[in-house]
């Protein structure tokens, strides 16, 4: 598994619950040197071990941890890169949603070999959408839900989202956009400050 | 085939080409694209003469509409007079029957700088323009590079730490000084029933080899020294290179002065055999100091090392190519110097 994903989990746990809590989780999961590196790859088992250890130590469900991790990597001010890169997908939250299908291609353009979920937007009429999800890890859908929640905030759009099952019994993210411009959102200047 | 004419509104032109300039038959600007209007001075472009608001950089000498029309479909470089340091690239199209010209511009490679300076937005680019993708790539690349640099820095530190902790001399593969300290400490802590011998080997004339034949010859000599010291000691003994031309040997289960003398003499004899280096002979010898844990009532690391050092010094001063034993009196006092117990002949 790409180190970007494992490091995201570490950053979320460390930023939210503190260094000590992370060291306890890392020890329990046997993370080498208690440190993931974004530029390295790790066995997927190690991610599972870390998630299970976090769930046990923090007494939170793995799905909650995954969703919170998705939100964290977008909303934490120390991690601006991903949020900025996602903002390039569209000028508004609905443009962003419509651009989600290109996300995989964008990711591999940025980091060759980065494997992320395939997403497909299905409009349900009104301001409701289903986002279909396809990846080798079904639980990754919760990370995507967390990311989308944070991105809606970032665009200043009031949206409600939930992981549900669609008519075929497949897990999907259901999104209801309640208000297109809820707040002014976070500032996004196309040109990054050097 | 018939020529088709397409009537486009200014608004449509803006959506397709937000950085266009439409020039009338007399050379004045009829319309400027909406993104161009966001650049300094851009809001006042319309109605002015083209060559009052921009200058051609490539080709250079384009100063009239006629010259401009000759560039039909060619790539051009221009700068706006209000932003002379930002090069724009573009293409000129001559409109039919002398009705003017059409210029479509883009930021080219300066897109990131332009976006930053003029606070442009996604909506300022045509949907078909790759500018936003380019900005995305520039940022993705910068983020990945930053991560890569950070990992490289960590790996570099780890490498330095590993080297710092290393116990092996990289040239000869012998133990280094750090290893020697550790070995001596553990031997002193548990000398065994027969104790152990310590031999300090200081090469003679090694500097001369380096100076006359060069460092490569010096390295060849050191490799040979390492080979000699390894073969003249037993498997359980420890050989360390502790300085440029200094070596320390630990000989386990050994309290026999005669045996140690024989070993020292054999080492000196073998080190005096010339080493061939690119057809030239490199010759060295060695001065040796020896001590044994059995000489001490209370063997201590620092004391044994300083004694053996003094004994080596005595060998040097006694004319080199010889070995000197630490005396039992010296071993248990702080005053006298070791006595000479060997006088190896030297050709030097």
Give residue-wise pLDDT tens across range A118-154. 999 999 988 899 999 999 999 999 999 999 999 999 9
Q: What mean pLDDT comes out for the span B89-114?
A: 92
Interface test with B, best of A6, A191, A192 (most B CBs within 10 A): A191
Judge if A127 and A173 occupy the same domain.
Answer: yes
Q: How confident is the model at residue B334 (pLDDT cuts 50, 70, 90)?
A: low
pLDDT attached to residue A149:
95
Judge if A41 and A99 occupy the same domain.
Answer: no
Q: How confident is the model at residue B164 (pLDDT cuts 50, 70, 90)?
A: confident
Give the residue among A12, A76, A78 at the shortest CA–CA distance from A50.
A12
Q: Using CA coordinates, name the residue in chain A closest to B111.
A: A191
Q: What mean pLDDT comes out for the span B171-179?
A: 91
Q: What is the pLDDT of residues B26-43, one digit of tens each?
A: 999 999 999 999 999 999
Q: What mean pLDDT comes out for the span B41-49?
A: 94
Tell me how many residue pairs between chain A and chain B have CB atoms under 8 A apart. Answer: 62
Q: Which residues of chain B have a CB within 8 Å of the CB of A194? A: 116
Question: Is the residue at A65 inside a domain?
Answer: no
Question: Is the residue at A152 inside a domain?
Answer: yes
Q: What percent of chain B has pLDDT over 90?
A: 60
Q: What mean pLDDT comes out for the span A45-69?
A: 97
Question: Is the residue at A67 inside a domain?
Answer: no
Q: How confident is the model at residue A52 (pLDDT cuts 50, 70, 90)?
A: very high
Judge if A117 and A172 occupy the same domain.
Answer: yes
pLDDT attached to residue B97:
85
ipTM: 0.80
Distance CA A171, CA A119 (A): 12
Domain boundary, last residue among A15, A43, A60: A60
Q: Which residues of chain A have a CB within 8 Å of the CB of B147? A: 38-39
Q: What is the pLDDT of residues B229-250, one digit of tens each?
A: 999 999 989 999 999 999 999 9
Judge if A124 and A171 occupy the same domain.
Answer: yes
User: Has residue B48 got a pLDDT over 60?
Assistant: yes
pLDDT attached to residue B339:
46
Judge if A126 and A174 occupy the same domain.
Answer: yes
pLDDT attached to residue B3:
66
Q: Using CA coordinates, name the residue in chain A closest to B113.
A: A191
Q: What mean pLDDT comes out for the span A16-27?
A: 97
On average, the pLDDT of chain B sits at: 89
Interface test with B, best of A90, A98, A155, A190 (most B CBs within 10 A): A190
Question: Is the residue at A154 inside a domain?
Answer: yes
> What is the CB neighbour count within 10 angstroms for residue B303?
18
Number of domains present in the structure of chain A:
2
Q: What mean pLDDT comes out for the span A53-68?
A: 97
Higher-pLDDT residue of B345 and B193 is B193
Q: How confident is the model at residue A187 (pLDDT cuts 50, 70, 90)?
A: confident
**Distances from the Cα of B163 to the Cα of A122, B159, B324, angstroms:** 57, 6, 35
**Distances from the Cα of A106 to the Cα of A96, A143, A193, B320, angstroms:** 13, 18, 21, 74
Task: Tell me phi and psi for residue B321, to 5 degrees.
Answer: 50, 45
Out of B112, B142, B148, name the one closest to residue A191 (CB). Answer: B112
Judge if A173 and A118 occupy the same domain.
Answer: yes
Q: What CATH fold (topology level) applies to the domain B10-129?
A: Beta-Lactamase (3.30.450)
Question: Is the residue at A107 inside a domain?
Answer: yes
Question: Is the residue at A36 inside a domain?
Answer: yes
**Distances from the Cα of B156 to the Cα of A40, B94, B151, B163, B295, angstroms:** 15, 59, 8, 11, 46
pLDDT attached to residue A193:
59
Q: Are B127 and A102 in contact, with CB atoms under 8 Å apart? A: no
pLDDT attached to residue A78:
81
Question: Is the residue at A79 inside a domain?
Answer: no
Q: What mean pLDDT comes out for the span B295-307?
A: 90
User: Would you name the residues of B annotated as active-site residues?
Assistant: 245
Indicate yes or no: CB of A110 within 8 angstroms of CB of B154: no
**For residue A75, what is the enclosing H or E element?**
helix A62-75
Give the residue among A109, A119, A106 at the shortest CA–CA distance from A161.
A119
Q: What mean pLDDT comes out for the span B112-118?
A: 91
Indicate yes or no: CB of B122 within 8 angstroms of CB of A39: no
Q: Are B327 and B336 in contact, with CB atoms under 8 Å apart? A: yes
Indicate yes or no: CB of A189 within 8 angstroms of CB of B116: yes
Question: Is the residue at A77 inside a domain?
Answer: no
Give the residue among B170, B194, B198, B172 at the shortest CA–CA distance from B183.
B198
Task: Count how many Cα atoms sit within 13 Å of the Cα of residue A161 in the half-sphere of its side chain.
Answer: 28
Range of the domain at A13: 3-60
Judge if A55 and A110 occupy the same domain.
Answer: no
- CATH number for the domain whose boundaries are B177-340: 3.30.70.270
Task: Tell me phi and psi for residue B78, to 5 degrees.
Answer: -135, 160
* Domains of chain B, residue spans: 10-129, 133-165, 177-340
Judge if A128 and A170 occupy the same domain.
Answer: yes
Judge if A142 and A104 occupy the same domain.
Answer: yes
pLDDT attached to residue A82:
87
Judge if A49 and A94 occupy the same domain.
Answer: no
Indicate yes or no: CB of A191 within 8 angstroms of CB of B132: no
Judge if A110 and A51 occupy the same domain.
Answer: no
Q: Using CA coordinates, name the residue in chain A closest to B117.
A: A191
């Amino acid at each position: 598994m790409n180190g970007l994903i494992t490091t995201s989990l570490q950053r979320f746990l460390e930023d939210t619950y503190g260094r000590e809590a992370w060291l306890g989780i890392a020890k329990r999961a046997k993370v080498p040197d208690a440190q993931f590196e974004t530029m390295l790859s790790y066995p997927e088992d190690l991610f599972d071990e870390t998630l299970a250890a976090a769930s046990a130590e923090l007494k939170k469900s793995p799905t909650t941890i995954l969703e919170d991790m998705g939100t964290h990597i977008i909303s934490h001010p120390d991690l601006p890169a991903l949020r900025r890169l996602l903002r390039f997908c569209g000028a508004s939250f609905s443009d962003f949603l419509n651009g989600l299908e290109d996300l995989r291609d964008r990711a591999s353009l940025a980091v060759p070999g980065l494997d992320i979920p395939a997403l497909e937007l299905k409009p349900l009429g009104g301001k409701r959408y289903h986002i279909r999800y396809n990846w080798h890890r079904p639980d990754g859908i919760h990370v995507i839900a967390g990311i989308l929640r944070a991105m809606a905030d970032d665009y200043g759009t009031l949206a409600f989202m939930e992981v549900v099952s669609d008519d075929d019994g497949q897990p999907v993210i259901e999104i209801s956009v309640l208000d297109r411009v809820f707040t002014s959102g976070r500032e996004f200047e196309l040109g990054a400050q050097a | 085939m018939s020529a088709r004419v397409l009537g486009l509104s200014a608004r449509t032109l803006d959506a397709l080409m937000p950085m266009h300039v439409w020039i009338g038959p007399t050379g004045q600007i009829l319309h400027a694209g909406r993104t161009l209007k966001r650049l300094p001075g851009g809001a006042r472009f319309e109605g002015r003469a083209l060559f009052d608001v921009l200058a051609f950089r490539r080709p250079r000498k384009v100063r009239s509409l006629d010259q401009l029309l000759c560039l039909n479909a060619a790539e051009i470089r221009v700068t706006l007079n209000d932003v002379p340091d930002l090069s724009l690239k573009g293409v000129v199209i001559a409109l039919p029957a002398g009705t003017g010209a059409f210029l479509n511009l883009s930021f080219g490679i300066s897109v990131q700088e332009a976006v930053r300076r003029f606070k442009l937005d996604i909506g300022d680019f045509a949907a078909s323009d790759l500018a936003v993708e380019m900005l995305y790539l520039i940022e993705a690349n910068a983020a990945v590079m930053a991560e890569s640099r950070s990992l490289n820095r960590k790996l570099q530190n780890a490498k330095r730490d590993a080297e710092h902790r290393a116990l092996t001399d990289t040239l000869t593969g012998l133990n280094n000084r750090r290893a020697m300290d550790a070995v001596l400490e553990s031997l002193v802590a548990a000398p065994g029933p027969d104790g152990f011998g310590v031999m300090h080997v200081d090469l003679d004339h090694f500097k001369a080899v380096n100076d006359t034949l060069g460092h490569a010859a010096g390295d060849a000599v050191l490799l040979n020294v390492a080979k000699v010291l390894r073969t003249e000691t037993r498997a359980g003994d420890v050989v360390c290179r502790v300085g440029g031309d200094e070596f320390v040997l630990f000989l386990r289960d050994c309290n026999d002065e005669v045996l140690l003398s024989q070993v020292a003499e054999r080492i000196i004899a073998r080190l005096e055999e010339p080493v061939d280096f690119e057809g030239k002979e490199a010759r060295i010898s060695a001065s040796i100091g020896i001590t044994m844990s059995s000489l001490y009532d209370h063997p201590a690391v620092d004391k044994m090392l300083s004694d053996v050092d003094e004994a080596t010094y005595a060998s040097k001063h006694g004319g080199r190519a010889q070995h000197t034993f630490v005396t039992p009196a010296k071993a248990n006092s702080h005053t006298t110097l070791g006595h000479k117990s060997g006088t190896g002949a030297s050709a030097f």
